[in-house]
Structure 1
Amino acid sequence: MLTVKKVLNNNVLIAEHPEYAEVILIGKGLGFGKKPGEEVAGEVAEKFFVLKEEKEQEQYKQLLDYVDEAFIGLMNDVISMIEERFKVRLHEHIHIALTDHLFYAIKRIHQGFDIKNPFLPETELAYPDEFEMAQTIIQHMNQELKINIPEGEIGFVALHIHSALTRRPLQEVNRHTRLISELVGVIESSLGISIDRKDVDYLRLVRHLHHAIERINKEKYEDNQEALKSVLQSEYPVCYNLSWKLIKIMQQALRKTVPDAEAVYLTLHLQRLSKQ
């Protein structure tokens, strides 16, 4: 038996759990007539999850004011699918962030709006596992809601999943995805090429940029390529100079120092792409 702490609505309440402290319990009629301090049998709940922070509880309560209970139930199933796939308990905020995002995305689709995602290829390359999971989720929701959610939404869901798995703010994850897209745009403009997004050299470049940004952010970038740097500067001056242009953009966006060694790796990637 658990103790009721707060009733959010007739079907959702916050209870005190002996192992997880406070949990959200969801079940038809579960909260009806219940008062704080009363006991409730945990096994009668259809779903339960941990929502520790008071701020998160308040946001979830606000969510229940405009999201219907059927959609809440569907989203809890979706989040369970993610946890089962990655064998992890996600940060509690995903119950609010992903539910709110998809609720409004589907609302816009019903209103006839399309969903555009200019960063879809970069997201798939940067977070392949999350992207694959997002594809499964969108397919599941299409079946359950009898709707056709545009492909662009897969990328947005993948970013939410990555944010929850890494416990990095969604804004930061979005910034990095946009940064990679901006860098690719600068490369195309500077070299006068249109990069095939399925080309293996493009895939390598985006994956490299993704890992480089992570290492720079964590300040775990210790490579030293001084000897090779002078050779590349002499052999491929256009690509070498462009690599430094990209480095300056990265430094400004990340507000961190990018090591000189990055010029070597970028020059090699750029030289391969320039052959197109």
Structure 2
Amino acid sequence: MVTVVKVLNNNVVIASHPDYDEVVLIGKGLGFGKKHGQEIAGEQAEKFFVLRNLEEQEQYKNLLEYVDENFIALMGEEIERLETTFRSSLNEHIHVGLTDHLYFAVKRIQQGQGIKNPFLKETELAYPLEYQAAAELAERFDKALGIRIPEGEIGFITLHIHSALTNRDLTQINRHTQLISELVRYIETAFQIDIDRNDINYLRLVRHLNHAVERVDNEDHAENQENLLKLLQTEYPLCYDLSWKLMKVMQQRLKKRVPDAEAVYLTLHIQRLLSGERNRI
């Protein structure tokens, strides 16, 4: 039996659950006319999620003090839609993190403040499905609120969605995205080129870097490729040398060992990228 502890607004109720202790129920009009101690069926809620600890409970309650009821209802619909799109449950913290982020983003847009995102392209390439979902969310916000969400903000929404899907900390994801951008700039500086962000080889490089950074961070080491390493060192010495420098940067930032085999993949990706740049010129 789920009973009402406190009605926070017409759409949000704090309730007592026999298995999860205190939970939050979200649904249009769910709290209307409800009283403390009254039984409420969980299936009535459009979305049901568990507040797992006291800190998260307080964060959500504080959120409701300054975020408009209609905005809360809209976010509930969007998060439910995301779960349907990805056919997966999202980490419950997205109700706090993404709602808070978008609320203040909308305020900044209404005040005419610009939103800059220097890692937009890397984010789009690393998480294409999440980026598409974020772009569609932005379109619905435009229709619902008359607010055009800029492309840079779509990148930030993408990271929130990816964080909730993978249960990875948003700070860690941001750090990885910034590292990938730094590695790309390192390549541009080393060869004195401006990489075409629409080049298919750039897309492949960024996606590889994203997976490589995650593998290193998870200490999921690739198999040894010693024979191929020697061949690439002879065939593409400049790309080979740069790959080791990139690996050193990764190792310094992540504070974890980067396996030697990573030099094989980086050398090949850098060589393909450079070949494409030369053909473009």
Relative to the length of structure 1, the TM-score reads 0.93
In the alignment, is residue 220 of structure 1 matched against residue 220 of structure 2?
yes
Give the deviation of 1:271 after TM superposition: 1.4
Structure 1 residues 148-227: aligned runs within 5 Å: 148-227=148-227
The 8 Å contact of residues 11 and 73 in structure 2, kept in 1 or not, is answered as no
SS of residue in 2 equivalent to 1:75: helix
Give the deviation of 1:16 after TM superposition: 2.1
Distance 2:44 2:273 in 1: 59
Structure 1 residues 1-276: aligned runs within 5 Å: 2-9=2-9, 11-18=11-18, 21-26=21-26, 27-28=28-29, 30=31, 34-35=35-36, 38-42=37-41, 45=45, 47-275=47-275, 276=277
The 8 Å contact of residues 13 and 31 in structure 1, kept in 2 or not, is answered as no
Deviations 1:1-23 (A, max 9, x none): 62123443565321123565533
The 8 Å contact of residues 9 and 32 in structure 1, kept in 2 or not, is answered as no
Deviations 1:136-160 (A, max 9, x none): 1111111100111111111111100
SS of residue in 1 equivalent to 2:4: strand
Distance 1:56 1:67 in 2: 16
Amino acid at match of 1:34: K
Distance 2:272 2:45 in 1: 57
Distance 1:25 1:44 in 2: 9
Question: Gaps spanning 5+ residues in structure 1: where?
Answer: none
Give the deviation of 1:207 after TM superposition: 1.0
Deviations 1:234-260 (A, max 9, x none): 222211111111001100111110011
The 8 Å contact of residues 78 and 137 in structure 1, kept in 2 or not, is answered as yes
Distance 2:251 2:107 in 1: 38
Distance 1:86 1:60 in 2: 24
SS of residue in 1 equivalent to 2:24: strand
188-197 vs 8-17, which moves further: 8-17
Amino acid at match of 1:41: I
Deviations 1:78-109 (A, max 9, x none): 10011111112211100000000000000000
Deviations 1:102-121 (A, max 9, x none): 00000000110111111111
Give the deviation of 1:50 after TM superposition: 2.6
Amino acid at match of 2:31: L
Q: 1:29 to 1:169 in 2, by over 3 A?
A: closer
The 8 Å contact of residues 8 and 31 in structure 1, kept in 2 or not, is answered as no
The 8 Å contact of residues 13 and 25 in structure 1, kept in 2 or not, is answered as yes
Question: Gaps spanning 5+ residues in structure 2: where?
Answer: none
Q: 1:11 to 1:272 in 2, by over 3 A?
A: closer
The 8 Å contact of residues 12 and 31 in structure 1, kept in 2 or not, is answered as no
155-164 vs 83-92, which moves further: 83-92
- Superposition CA RMSD, Å: 1.9
SS of residue in 1 equivalent to 2:223: coil
Amino acid at match of 2:161: I
The 8 Å contact of residues 202 and 273 in structure 2, kept in 1 or not, is answered as yes
Deviations 1:194-251 (A, max 9, x none): 1111111111111111111111122121321111111222222211111111001100
Amino acid at match of 1:206: V
Identity level (%): 60
